[in-house]
Structure 1
Amino acid sequence: MRHLTAHSDVHDARHGVPIDRKALVEAFPSSFLGMMIQEPALLGARRGDRSDTFFQHLATIGALQALIEHCLPGRRCEQALSTIVNHDDRAAMVCALSALCVAADDFVAVGDEDGWIILPPRQFIQPAQWSLLEVNAGEEIAGALYTT
């Protein structure tokens, strides 16, 4: 991270839960994507393919495109997101989506002073997943669940 901030033009952080003085965010593709699925266990994902399975499902049903259109009204991807098949390319796309949500100032985050994981905007998190977030946050220090 130090190398990136030293050798690039990264703007200062303006969002409510920065992990650095620069606008860098922590992304976890499986968590980000899983929040958008009502019953992720029904997809039969395993540890080694979870993020790929979630990505393909959400791309196929149009949820990822809907997120992009939410954050960038009037914009669409030139290429169907379901055509992204490489694991690393999919992970990079989810990282970009996480950053896009922060840039649009519409995201949920979980964490504390040691760091924050960026999740989709509240309206994209499925009710069952939101309930789990609230339960887990209730077991942590106040403020562990952040919404914009």
Structure 2
Amino acid sequence: MLTRRFRPLIGKPGQSSTPVGRLLNYHANECVRHVAACSGVLDARHGVPIDRKALVEAFPSSFLGMMLPEPARVAARRGDRSDTFFQHLSATDVLHSFFEYCLPGRQLAHDLNTIVNHDDRAAFVCALTALCVAIGDFVAIGDDDGWIILPPCRFIQPEQWMLLCANAEEEMPGSLYVTGREEITLRPQ
């Protein structure tokens, strides 16, 4: 659902059928296994769990790309897409507004523009993804095989929302899951 219609705009999530994708998936799952075994990760309480523990799947470039107004105008390439999206959303205060929405009344200790390392940016976006699940306000796409968490409905741009809905219509019913603080009727389904 994040490839069809989206590829020219925001790219696509990593492909798990390629050698690099399989290796990334393997190591990500190993890291998750260790974290879940050695820490106090709470049980999942959200409507689309992928594990009995509160673990979620994030794709930083897709997560960020959903919040970009006119993503085709953002000059991103395959190798720097998530960094370019992060820089654009940070420079336009979208990420700051997103943070304020998720954690009202709290302040960031550092300017988001100071996060310059690719892995640090990705980790920050993964933390935002988990935060969306923690506050119970997110969009998810998937099925019994897994769910990818996207920003709350109010942060997904209208163009991307329309594409997401069109893709969902070509999938099994229930492949687009929306929850949140606001009325779902704010976006067409």
Do Structure 1 and Structure 2 share a fold, with TM-score over 0.5?
Answer: yes
Match for residue 75 of structure 1 among 87, 97, 106: 106
- Answer whether contact 1:59 1:65 (CA < 8 A) is retained: yes
Inter-partner Cα distance in structure 1 for 2:132 and 2:161: 17
1:41 — aligned with what?
A: 72
1:145 — aligned with what?
A: 176
User: Is residue 56 from structure 1 mapped to residue 87 from structure 2 by the alignment?
Assistant: yes
User: Is residue 89 from structure 1 mapped to residue 120 from structure 2 by the alignment?
Assistant: yes
User: Is residue 113 from structure 1 mapped to residue 138 from structure 2 by the alignment?
Assistant: no
Q: Which has the higher contact order (CA 8 A, sep 6+)?
A: 1
1:41-94 Cα deviation digits (max 9, x unpaired) = 211100000000000000111111111111111012111101110000000000
2:132 — aligned with what?
A: 101
- Answer whether contact 1:65 1:76 (CA < 8 A) is retained: no
- Structure 1 stretches (4+) deviating beyond 4 angstroms? none
Number of paired residues? Answer: 148
1:76-117 Cα deviation digits (max 9, x unpaired) = 211110111000000000000000011010000011111111
Structure 1: gaps (5+ residues): none
Percent identical pairs in the alignment equals: 70
Inter-partner Cα distance in structure 2 for 1:32 and 1:49: 15
Inter-partner Cα distance in structure 1 for 2:77 and 2:70: 14
Inter-partner Cα distance in structure 1 for 2:107 and 2:138: 20
- Structure 1 residue 2: deviation in Å? 2.2
Q: CA RMSD in A?
A: 0.7
Inter-partner Cα distance in structure 1 for 2:75 and 2:90: 17
Structure 2: gaps (5+ residues): 1-31, 180-189
Question: What amino acid sits opposite 1:77 in the alignment?
Answer: L
Question: What amino acid sits opposite 2:177 in the alignment?
Answer: Y
